[in-house]
Structure 1
Amino acid sequence: MSDRFELYLTCPKGLEGLLAEEARGLGLEDVREHTSAIRGEADMETAYRLCLWSRLGNRVLLVLKRFNMKNADDLYDGVNAVDWQDHLEATGSLAVEFSGHGSGIDNTHFGALKVKDAIVDKLRNAAGERPSVDKLNPDLRVHLRLERGEAILSLDLSGHSLHQRGYRLQQGAAPLKENLAAAVLIRAGWPRIAAQGGALADPMCGVGTFLVEAAMIAADIAPNLRRERWGFSAWLGHVPALWRKLHDEAKARAEAGLARPPLWIRGYEADPRLIQPGRNNVERAGLSDWIKIYQGEVGSFEPRPDQNQKGLVICNPPYGERLGDEASLLYLYQNLGERLRQACLNWEAAVFTGAPDLGKRMGIRSHKQYAFWNGALPCKLLLIRVQPDQFVTGERRQPERERGSEPSEPVVSVASEPARLSEGGQMFANRLQKNLKQLGKWAKRESVTCYRVYDADMPEYALAIDLYHDWVHVQEYAAPRSIDPEKAQARLFDALAAIPQALNIDQSRVVIKRRERQSGTKQYERQSSQGQFTEVSEGGVKLLVNLTDYLDTGLFLDHRPMRMRIQREAAGKRFLNLFCYTATASVHAAKGGARSTTSVDLSKTYLDWARRNFSLNGFSDKNRLEQGDVMAWLQACREEYELIFIDPPTFSNSKRMEGVFDVQRDHVELLDLAVARLAPGGVLYFSNNFRKFQLDEHLQERYAVEEITAQTLDPDFARNSKIHRAWRIQAR
């Protein structure tokens, strides 16, 4: 074999430039960059050194041959012409990886099969022995890349990907690969900082990947020193003496590095479930003397080893995939920025984020940004000098008041140096405070602790914002397709930044959901599973809401006037609540002295919730909860009621009901069945929130029908008169 080889090194997309620089430093010559790869020339010693020392590469491929091919036969012939007896025993094992297409190769499986057949046929001996296939731990891993009609046939010297260092057997939900973490550290200037004796802290360390990679860089530990099996271990071209020399040199360098006084490297993680896995990873890497991991929240993060120590704060905040993540992530970034300004003055910071718009909300400027890819997700690395001239801070208005009361004169607080609201955010905050001032007196007078304080008053901020005692529930209406998604996202972040300040609510008590057109029962389906209920009150009735687990909260705020009307009219009456949801109207009827209440719904979950609402108010014996399809239940019912309330869904289907309910199509049959259950002189209240709904005109020929929509809107819904429509119906 030749003394010099063509080598390909693959890497994650975006790391090509860094890998080329690293590879040159390790001896690779004539380096050229490709997409997710570099190539160059080197001797065997450099090839081994790249395997051992590359922190950024995935694989080191030694090119055996290049040849042109027009079809599958050319592929077979080109591979078969190689002297495979120089590389693999006839009784050995191999695995083949194939990438690319064209030249008659339609899929990679077929291409790999052709390559395998060519190798096996070449090595089959007179005794009939031939190599076997072992995809996990083969003696030889062969790679063929087809590119524009040229086949590049290589041996994979690395075996398993080089990012698999061996220390991280336990990981969190979305960990960074080790080589990507190393690249982020290098871009962040950690080698320079470490050489100066600087410290490193990660306030969201997960299972410690940044920490371990940083310590290995600082202690001069080859990233793959502990790997026992390589792609060249059973290769016949392997030179063991040369490998042992390089490995012994790397081992000596690591021992010398670890003998030096350890740098101050600390990780903090809020999730207690990740603490021990992180510590286990550190111990497997042999770096327990260098790295310590503690449980801690970002809001209380304070890295200072001592007042004079400086260094690098590095983190990879979560990206957010669940309902309501926008709010929690915005406040996470705001808290991170606040802690950097307060506790890390004159440090450097590196924030690796899949949501760079959120990075702008930290209240501190980045002086440099780098584009990366985390798998298929585009990311940015924000580099920050934590110095006062980089801070973006300002005054925050903090109205001191009790919930529901009129705000006092705003006071200025600069102690925590909050991020200044944008012009749009301040305008939005002003509107919220104005609405709160107007509605606060009314809510206090009416003993209401949950009400809507904003409902898309400003079209560019398409949100509905409800107060539930000391919680804020935010619903983001889906933006029209004509709106630039980036602008819509920026406005959402402006609004979320303004809400805690304007309403004087802790950030942790803001819940956001996205409301779009729902099909079937989707709006009633579970979105989360926190199971956290909050008690609110209206008109002397206590009710339970859940702000996190479902799109709706268990209480339709716009129906408050209807519930209060039912409470006033229920005394001594038998009350029927159809499509009862969590039976809040039934609880009001019981509060008003109803003789009995019957509540019907298809959902066991919501009937259980209704039972809790009754129990919370001390009601039980007279209140029936019936699970069933309302239409079928009415057809079977023979009882009479003096007061009936129906608020059906626009559309509903379920495995437990017959057919599909459509309020426009089925409301006549529904009302006929319900009016038949009215006692003489009884009243039926019917409402729904389908914007295009039209009450059938023939109903007025049979019944006394009065639209009462205007009478069922409280001041908090005066801005949205189309939130629902309501009618009062009696038999003639």
Structure 2
Amino acid sequence: MIKRTTRRKKKDPHHFVATCGAGLENLVKEEIISFGGIDVKTTPGAVSWQGTTLQSVYRACLWSRFASRILLELRTFTANTPDDIYREVGSIDWSLHFSGDTTFAAYATLVKTGPELNHSHFASLKIKDAIVDQFRKRTGKRPDVDVRKPGIRINLHVQKTEATLALDLSGDSLHRRGYRASAGEAPLKETLAAAIVHLAGINKNTPPDHCILDPMCGSATLLIEAALIYGDSAPGLQRKEFGFVYWSRHNAKLWDKLVSEAIEREDKRTEIPWPSIIGYDADPRVVAVARKNVINAGLQDRIIVKQRQLARLQPPTAKGTLVVNPPYGERLSEKESVKYLYRCFGRIFRDNFSGWQLGFFTANPDLADMLGVSWQVRNRLYNGPIKCRLLNAAADATTPYTPPVHIWESHKPAEELPARDFANRLYKNCQKLLAWARERNLSCFRLYDADLPEYNLSVDLYEQWIVVQEYPRPASIDQVKAQQRLDDALGAIRDVLAAPHSTLFIQSAAKKNPKDQHKKKREKLYEVHEGTATYLAGFTHSRDTGVFLNQRKIRSLLGQLCNGRTFLHLYGKTATATVQAAVGGATSTITVEFSEQQLVRARANLSLNGYGGPLHACKAGNSMEWLRSGRERYGVIFIDAPTSSRHKKMVFDIHADHEELLRLAMGRLSQSGILLFACTAQRFTLEPTLFLDFKVEEITGQTIPFDFADSKHNCRCFRLQHLPEEEENDHVQP
């Protein structure tokens, strides 16, 4: 007897879609191919494929690092009206997908649809109505809708008139791995973070003697994703549930098998050496969040997170990969700080990280050149709607960066110079000061300060630039003659210093055209150095550059006093003193300044030197009001008060108000602290009662720089401390 065999009907393949962020399509495509997907195709924001079994889609839910959602395509149709949606949705047998006891929700996305189909919420309601009506008609019972946490999610996407209806097998978006309890101010989605790490070159083959380092780690998402990649950990293992568990065709046996396989793979990686994975952040509050996320991911033995300023960044190992998502800076003032933060990071990378790779993710690709590195690869990515770039580079060990050092040479003035007396005095000063500055590694100093009454101006060197400031002209002086004298002096300066016109900046005392004063142009800033600190100097817009040369020794003293102490800078201007305090080891700094324009420069100066976050804050406000409003005490306070201010929100006179200012400040000084008070007012006298209540010492002689020894524009400096308790008690007793 011949046995007949019946041929099984071949199953139609399932059609699946993985949605993803823009720029990640090719990464998702590679994943889907590795999961066994067939006929894999990409479209913007999505990757589609076919599968005769559920294995490829389960692997996508469990293992995809870059996809956002995994969808099972149910039907495509033409949709011109809401009724078309109701009819097509109602023609599907929904009992094949879920029971009436399962909650569901419907979501619609409409792109360039017609006037009759222009409300996504109404389209979602038509999907819901069609499904509910079908269940009620067949069983007399309807499933409940739960938009917050549905069992089954149904997605409709309509592009013009082409509609695609799909079942969401992932449930919650796949970027929600389950480890992030909270995030920083600008968190990356985990899927994007994984893409950044992958494209930066971090993978399972990263050598164990390397280090993966994020110096601005925020909530540690990049570090955690790097650890998951190296540890061969399936990102879906920590999720509590997926959408497919509520699907009637779910194959629990196959899923359990794939989960067991993933756990086995992860366990094998625990037996091998791991690279160091380290993160730093300037904000201690963010560090606490990052550590909590690391613990939630079960990686506390693999990832180290510490609070550290960028200025203190050093390579923990000889080789490794820096992967960085720096702050974006949405407002213009923030973007200025971000620009100089980039400059600081680039300098540190070039100087200290030879042999390292860099993956730099930025929403400001126009600022990428600020780093001063050669980018080898540029990847276009998106953080939500924000256009970003991931830039890859390597530190070249053979060409370490060294800033150009300008060495000035003086030349004997020509006989025919009109300003012969001025030229001779300038040449004499050069003979004395240029060698003095070179011996002390000074690049910014004063060369001439109204030494001759008829040439009433100052000449300052700021590295390779010369700044000439003319002091106010007396009304009795003929303006034409004064201008001619200034022009002659400028010619002498160029002759003695052999300086091209492009290096010379003039701040004339001549009256400006009122129309020109209202033309606001953005001032170009120049980087200048003082010891290990770098400042931003402006040479064109105002009577000062933002770097006060006559306070050089005060800044140096502050750097020595602030090690291990908190620092408060009142009337902080551009925060050059704060920078020196931070460089000197201040544990935290606060700079209070009334002018928002000055604060922008102050924040930029701190960023340029690698300091920021809440431990190095800049506050806008009236310094006296700010003193009254708080109670915190500081180890070192520096007051650089103006001589006078007549602004309606800050009326101040140094002669009348300094006693109140200093008493308020001393109330915020720790018992063992030190307050420095700087004053440029002429004929200033410190209130005598202050000598009775505090230990007061004028230290002007110690703080006048050598190049200002004969200047009339010096800064007086007083040092105040609290009296020892026994002396204070003796004083108040009758």
Q: For residues 235-246 of structure 1, what are the structure 2 equivalents within 5 Å?
A: 235-246=247-258
Whole-angstrom distance in 1 between the partners of 2:163 and 2:109: 10
- Report deviation, 1:392: 5.9
| 1:593-632 correspondence to structure 2 within 5 Å | 605-607=649-651, 610=652, 614-616=656-658
Does the alignment pair 1:213 with 2:241?
A: no
The answer to whether 1:95 aligns with 2:105 is yes
Structure 1 residue 551, shift from structure 2 partner:
3.1
Given candidates 375, 392, 396, the residue that maps to 1:366 is 375
The two structures have a TM-score, normalised by structure 1, of: 0.60
What is the CA–CA distance in structure 1 between the aligned matches of 2:209 and 2:74, rounded to whole Å? 44
1:551 corresponds to which residue?
596
Match of 2:124 in 1: 112
- Residue of structure 2 in register with 1:26 after alignment: 35
How far apart are residue 141 of structure 1 and its match? 0.2
For residues 126-174 of structure 1, what are the alpha-carbon distances to aligned partners after superposition, in whole Å with 9 as ceiling and x for unaligned? 6642111111211100001112422211000111110111111121100
Look up the SS of the partner of 1:248 in the other structure: helix
Q: For residues 552 and 39 of structure 1, do their structure 2 counterparts lie closer, same or farther at Cα, with a shift above 3 Å needed?
A: closer
Q: Determine if the alignment matches structure 1 residue 55 to structure 2 residue 65.
A: yes
Between the aligned partners of 1:222 and 1:165, the Cα distance in structure 2 is 10
**1:673-709: CA deviation from partner (whole Å, max 9, x where unpaired):** xxxxxxxxxxxxxxxxxxxxxxxxxxxxxxxxxxxxx
For residues 262-301 of structure 1, the aligned pairs below 5 Å read: 262-301=274-313
Aligned residue in 2 for 1:689: none
C-alpha deviations, 1:384-415, integer Å up to 9, x for none? 11113576654144999xxxx99746759999
Distance 1:619 1:384, change over 3 A: closer
Aligned residue in 1 for 2:358: 349
Given residue 254 of structure 1, which amino acid in structure 2 is its aligned partner?
A: E
Alignment of 1:38-437 (within 5 A): 38-42=47-51, 43-101=53-111, 102-103=113-114, 104-125=116-137, 128-191=140-203, 194=206, 198-305=210-317, 307=318, 310-322=319-331, 324-388=333-397, 393-397=402-406, 408=434, 437=467
- The equivalent position to 1:534 in structure 2, one of 571, 576, 579, is 571
Cα deviation for residue 375 of structure 1 reads 1.3
Query: Using the alignment, how far apart are the partners of 2:225 and 2:45 within structure 1?
Result: 21
Distance 1:50 1:465, change over 3 A: farther
- Structure 1 residue 255 displacement after superposition: 1.8
Q: Which moved more, 1:405-414 or 1:227-236?
A: 405-414
Identity %: 32
The residue number in structure 1 matching 2:639 is: none
State the 1:5 CA deviation: 1.1
Secondary structure in 1 matching 2:528: helix
Distance change (3 Å), C-alpha of 1:21 and 1:435: closer
Quote the offset at 1:245 in angstroms: 0.7
Amino acid at match of 2:396: Q
Report if aligned partners of 1:395, 1:413 keep a CA contact under 8 Å in 2: no
| 1:209 to 1:194, Cα distance in 2 relative to 1, 3 A | same
CA shift for structure 1 position 548: 4.9
2: distance between equivalents of 1:109 and 1:62?
A: 22
| Residues 411 and 159 of structure 1: CA distance in aligned 2, closer, same or farther (over 3 Å) | farther
Asked if 2 retains the 8 angstrom alpha-carbon contact of 1:95 and 1:138, the reply is yes
- In structure 2, distance between residues paired with 1:237 and 1:251: 24
Q: Deviations over 1:86-108 (max 9, x none)?
A: 11212321111111242531111
Assess, with a 3 A threshold, how the Cα gap between structure 1 residues 185 and 83 changes in structure 2: closer, same or farther.
same
Distance in 2 of aligned mates of 1:229 and 1:203: 34
Question: TM-score, normalized by length of structure 2?
Answer: 0.60
The separation in 2 between residues aligned to 1:505 and 1:341, in whole angstroms, is 16
Indicate how the Cα distance of structure 1 residues 98 and 431 shifts in structure 2: closer, same or farther if over 3 A, else same: farther
Equivalent in 468, 474, 488 of residue 438 of structure 1: 468
Root-mean-square deviation (CA, aligned residues, Å) is 4.5
Give yes or no for contact 1:546–1:553 (8 Å, CA) kept in 2: no
Q: Deviations over 1:254-307 (max 9, x none)?
A: 1222232332111111111111111111111011111001111112111323x4
Query: Contact 1:302/1:343 (CA < 8 Å) preserved in 2?
Result: yes
1: distance between equivalents of 2:170 and 2:184?
A: 26
CA distance in 2, matches of 1:531, 1:377: 37
Greater shift, 164-173 or 323-332, is seen at: 323-332
Q: Structure 1 residues 511 and 324 mapped into 2: Cα distance closer, same or farther (>3 Å)?
A: farther
Return the offset for 1:357.
3.1
Structure 1 match to 2:22? 13
Q: What secondary structure is seen at the aligned counterpart in 2 of 1:267? A: strand
How many Å separate the matches in 1 of 2:250 and 2:661? 82
**SS of 1:186 mapped into structure 2:** helix
8 Å contact from structure 1 (residues 220, 254) kept in 2: yes
Identify unmatched segments of 5+ residues in structure 2.
Answer: 1-9, 410-428, 443-459, 474-499, 509-516, 543-566, 574-589, 600-621, 626-641, 663-712, 714-734
Q: How does 1:566-605 map to 2 (within 5 A)?
A: 605=649
| SS of residue matched to 1:161 | coil
Give 3-state SS (helix, strand or coil) of 1:388's partner. coil
Distance 2:212 2:309 in 1: 17
Does structure 2 conserve the Cα–Cα contact (< 8 Å) formed by 1:399 and 1:504? no
Question: Secondary structure of 2:206's match?
Answer: helix
Equivalent-residue separation in structure 2 for 1:274 and 1:339 (angstroms): 23
Contact 1:193 1:311 in 2 (8 A): no
The 1-side partners of 2:572 and 2:311 are apart by: 27
Q: How many residues align?
A: 499
CA distance in structure 2 between the aligned counterparts of 1:18 and 1:414, rounded to whole angstroms = 52
Aligned partners of 1:181, 1:254: CA distance in 2, in Å?
20
CA distance in 1, matches of 2:61, 2:298: 20
Q: Distance in 1 between matches of 2:406 and 2:340?
A: 17
Distance across 2 between alignment mates of 1:319 and 1:291:
25
CA contact (8 A) 1:182 1:214 kept: yes
Kindly provide the CA deviation profile for residues 24-66 of structure 1, in whole angstroms up to 9, marking residues without a partner as x.
1222221111111111112311101000100001000110111
SS in 2 for 1:324: helix
- Structure 2 distance, partners of 1:329, 1:226, is 35
| 393 and 364 in structure 1: CA distance in 2 versus 1, 3 angstrom threshold | farther
Q: Indicate conservation of the 8 Å contact 1:312/1:347, yes or no.
A: yes
Query: Post-superposition shift, 1:71?
Result: 2.4
Contact conserved, 2:207 with 2:275, CA < 8 A, in 1?
no
Change (3 A) 1:41 1:12: same
Could you say if the C-alpha distance between residues 176 and 440 of structure 1 is closer, same or farther in structure 2, counting changes exceeding 3 Å?
A: farther
**Secondary structure of 1:142's aligned partner:** strand
Q: Secondary structure at 2:175's aligned position in 1?
A: coil
Given residue 110 of structure 2, which amino acid in structure 1 is its aligned partner? G
SS of structure 2 residue aligned to 1:99: strand
Aligned mates of 1:184, 1:72 — CA distance in 2 = 41
> Residues 552 and 38 from structure 1, CA distance in 2 versus in 1: closer, same or farther, beyond 3 angstroms?
closer
Question: Which structure 2 residues correspond to residues 691-710 of structure 1 after superposition, within 5 A?
Answer: none
Structure 2 partner of 1:643 = none
Alignment pair present for 1:499 and 2:527: yes
Q: 1:508 to 1:205 in 2, by over 3 A?
A: farther
SS of the residue 1:132 aligns to: coil
